Amino acid sequence: PYGAPLWPVGSWAGGMGRVLYFSFPRVSFMNNQKQQKPTLSGQRFKTRKRDEKERFDPTQFQDCIIQGLTETGTDLEAVAKFLDASGAKLDYRRYAETLFDILVAGGMLGGTLADDMMRTDVCVFAAQEDLETMQAFAQVFNKLIRRYKYLEKGFEDEVKKLLLFLKGFSESERNKLLAMLTGVLLANGTLNASILNSLYNENLVKEGVSAAFAVKLFKSWINEKDINAVAASLRKVIVIGIVWSSVMSTVEWNKKEELVAEQAIKHLKQYSPLLAAFTTQGQSELTLLLKIQEYCYDNIHFMKAFQKIVVLFYKAEVLSEEPILKWYKDAHVAKGKSVFLEQMKKFVEWLKNAEEESESETEEGD
């Protein structure tokens, strides 16, 4: 019932017979398809070229790149030329992640670099730990991405991946190399500041990895560009949280509640200009207020320091009246809400009175 019917055709001779069977395909009268001709079993059909799929083989791609880098040596100008020429022969679009893994770590990353895996020392992790070398490597990436524009997205994804897995790298790889290189790449426009969102990973923040990394990254970035240029490149609402965490992680805080507030004020006074550069909009100021609230709640010896920090930032023009009043009215979070609102009560009343006096003076002047 499932195949084409077999029709016997044959001849008999001397009582012995031979029957030959020929298979004819069923013909459907319900459609307009052409009747197929009988075919010999085992016949192969040639696959159209467009239907053929090349096997995904990152290892072979890696071997080609590493062999070329080994022959090129540590001259980064020669490395850039090799990568430029290889793009015409190798599938950079398909193996972008493998390509950038090699240039950063010397080989494909998959948890760790296996000892028996083919590797190259012509990479960021094996380079000298100085800014000049990182600037030279940044030029390699910059030239490669300008030549093959489609690699831009792949490179951004690579850096985001590296930032998410910072804990898996050594301190040297993490802080001195990745932070320095990323800072330079942000400064020259090869990377967009949105990649810094990866530093908000909960585990990285909890263990202080994000903050330590961010401090070195910003130093490298500011070394290339002045603070105003850096601030202009950033979505301040995103970055102010990282800056706050970075500033607060650089100190060994006193465990005594009565001493930590004074220590915090002295420390934060030094960093007020930096914080002010990232709080030029109401939303970024509100974000900073929420970060301060969460920090003071999570670090119990800071519970009584909240109001003093806010007043300091108001005087230093890091925070302004409107965001503080909005935070007090309805923009605060639940953490320590009753304690912090009570602390801020008198200061908020003073702000409201000052605002009313200012308005009345303006009206009189008119």
Domain identity same for 192 and 270: no
Tokens encoding 144: 């490669």
Domain identity same for 212 and 76: yes
Distance CA 311, CA 314 (A): 5
Q: Tens digits of per-residue pLDDT, 245-274? A: 878 887 889 888 889 999 999 999 999 998
Lowest mean pLDDT among 61-75, 172-186, 316-330: 172-186
The answer to whether residue 8 sits within a structural domain is no
Half-sphere exposure of 293 (CA within 13 A, CB side): 23
Which run of H or of E encompasses 314? helix 306-315
Give the residue-averaged pLDDT of 71-90: 94
Single-letter code of the amino acid located at 49: K
Tokens encoding 170: 């050594």
pLDDT bin (cut points 50, 70, 90) of residue 79 is: very high
The answer to whether residue 366 sits within a structural domain is no
Domain identity same for 205 and 347: no
Asked if 185 and 140 touch (Cβ cutoff 8 Å), the reply is no
Distance CA 335, CA 267 (A): 24
Asked if 316 and 276 touch (Cβ cutoff 8 Å), the reply is yes
Q: What is the DSSP letter of 197?
A: G
Distance CA 106, CA 111 (A): 14
Tell me how many domains the chain contains: 2
Q: Tens digits of per-residue pLDDT, 138-162? A: 999 999 999 999 999 999 999 999 9
Give the residue-averaged pLDDT of 350-361: 73
Distance CA 355, CA 348 (A): 10
Query: Does pTM surpass 0.95?
Result: no
Lowest mean pLDDT among 64-68, 87-91, 96-100, 173-177: 173-177
Per-residue confidence (pLDDT) for residue 357, from 0 to 100? 66
Q: Which of 224, 243, 268 represents a domain boundary (last residue)?
A: 224
Q: Tens digits of per-residue pLDDT, 184-215? A: 999 888 988 778 878 877 788 778 788 788 88
Domain identity same for 65 and 202: yes
Domain span at residue 332 reads 231-357
Domain identity same for 215 and 101: yes
Per-residue confidence (pLDDT) for residue 64, from 0 to 100? 95
Angle between helices 131-147 and 76-86 (to 10 degrees): 20
Residue 19 scores a pLDDT above 90: no
The answer to whether residue 323 sits within a structural domain is yes
Domain identity same for 112 and 239: no
Residue 311 scores a pLDDT above 90: yes
Asked if 337 and 303 touch (Cβ cutoff 8 Å), the reply is no
Query: Phi-psi category of 118—alpha, beta or left, where left has phi over 0 and alpha has psi -120 to 50?
Result: beta
Q: Which of 224, 241, 263 represents a domain boundary (last residue)?
A: 224
Q: Which residues of 72-101 are buried (b: 16+ CB within 10 A; e: fewer)?
A: beeebeebbebbeebbeebebeebbbbbbb
The CATH number linked to 347 is 1.25.40.180
Give the residue-averaged pLDDT of 32-61: 57
The answer to whether residue 22 sits within a structural domain is no
